[in-house]
Structure 1
């Protein structure tokens, strides 16, 4: 029971923090938060699908891969993470005023939040949806941190999206991915159990 509530806390925290970075800092500048965001932009461009619906389609289309390679339990947790993230984006965008600030500052701050949220999810074996599923599969079977494959896959999608939509966002998007994937690896490598145990013993 303890493990369930512990994992629930990390998944909810990860989804919320990820949604904070997207909703308050990246999306107001139309900067895609990842490969799923880039694919969603393309779906919106070619098929005129609403961005929110397009993002949902991309995220849930990856669940079949997660079910095959990561197990049914991972799919359920991924659904929870995607739902929490979507609700958080809606909350932060529509409840909290989001005046557009300096794009470079927002890219850095938003990417730190984004990477922290994704890192919390991936270290619990939970994908944040989209190509994060593929990154988690690669990390599991090749025994590497998921940040690098996530960066290269997202980078390819960004270049494809920028070549079709606009080249103006490519630098911000790639910078965002570099910062967020560094945060992913940093969070992924932290041993929270040891940190908690050390803090508890000091008390």
Structure 2
């Protein structure tokens, strides 16, 4: 019985990390190919990464890893060990993905708005997969969770304020249209996150709840 339980846990862990890998790759692809070429921050961490790249010419992939890892280390006491390790792994995969896809591609539609749409959809799918596995995608979400616990409030408001502040600061340094583009990207990507969670509930959670009720 112990071997069966251990095998089931191992299978579940392998499945989780495969999904985290997929989520990190998809998120990084959306950022590197479609958002970052137009200096559109994917979130607060993405905005800081764009600024580091702009100021000191640090590669975007490495700058993103530095920002995310620093925020995660600051919040390590508020996360469980499994979630923290999974988040570190997801952040690393995302940064590697940004580096991997950091090359010029010929696209028939060289439009910032088309790139924003495609990039935001991919970003949302990647983040949704990561969050559905119980790990954070890093960035300001970590700080928002800390603030929500300390202040006993929903993390939505501090997350919006943190990301919005960084968007405005990034725009003041690079270009003001980035604020509108970044907020639109956030809206599209968060809708995709909601869609991922709805699909998860329909495909996985609902059948499991029905099965548990039958057993009772």
Judge same fold: TM > 0.5, yes or no.
yes
> After superposition, what is the alpha-carbon deviation per residue over 1:127-151, rounded to whole angstroms, capped at 9, x for unaligned?
112213234557889696x666544
Q: Which residue of 1 aligns with 2:34?
A: 25
In the alignment, the residues of structure 2 paired with residue 174 and residue 149 of structure 1 have an alpha-carbon distance, to the nearest angstrom, of 15
User: Structure 1 residues 84 and 25, CA, compared in 2 at 3 Å: closer, same or farther?
Assistant: same
Give the TM-score taking structure 2 as reference length: 0.76
In the alignment, the residues of structure 2 paired with residue 112 and residue 137 of structure 1 have an alpha-carbon distance, to the nearest angstrom, of 27
In the alignment, the residues of structure 1 paired with residue 207 and residue 96 of structure 2 have an alpha-carbon distance, to the nearest angstrom, of 29
Give the TM-score taking structure 1 as reference length: 0.81
Q: Which residue of 1 aligns with 2:105?
A: 97
Tell me whether 1:157 sits opposite 2:178 in the alignment.
no
Tell me whether 1:34 sits opposite 2:57 in the alignment.
no
| Contact 1:131/1:150, CA 8 A, preserved across alignment | yes
**2:80 pairs with 44, 47, 71, which one?**
71
**2:23 pairs with 11, 14, 21, which one?**
14
| Contact 1:151/1:177, CA 8 A, preserved across alignment | no
In the alignment, the residues of structure 1 paired with residue 13 and residue 59 of structure 2 have an alpha-carbon distance, to the nearest angstrom, of 35
**1:193 pairs with 182, 204, 207, which one?**
204
| Contact 2:124/2:191, CA 8 A, preserved across alignment | yes
> After superposition, what is the alpha-carbon deviation per residue over 1:158-203, rounded to whole angstroms, capped at 9, x for unaligned?
0122123321322111111111122223323432414777xxxxxx
| Contact 1:115/1:180, CA 8 A, preserved across alignment | yes
Whose Rg is larger? 2
In the alignment, the residues of structure 2 paired with residue 3 and residue 139 of structure 1 have an alpha-carbon distance, to the nearest angstrom, of 30
Measured after TM superposition, the shift of residue 110 of structure 1 is 0.8
Q: Which residue of 1 aligns with 2:118?
A: 109
SS in 1 for 2:100: helix
Stretch deviating more after TM superposition (170-179 or 63-72): 63-72
Measured after TM superposition, the shift of residue 66 of structure 1 is 3.8
| Contact 2:64/2:95, CA 8 A, preserved across alignment | no
Q: Which residue of 1 aligns with 2:3?
A: none
Q: Which residue of 2 aligns with 1:53?
A: 62
Q: Which residue of 2 aligns with 1:200?
A: none
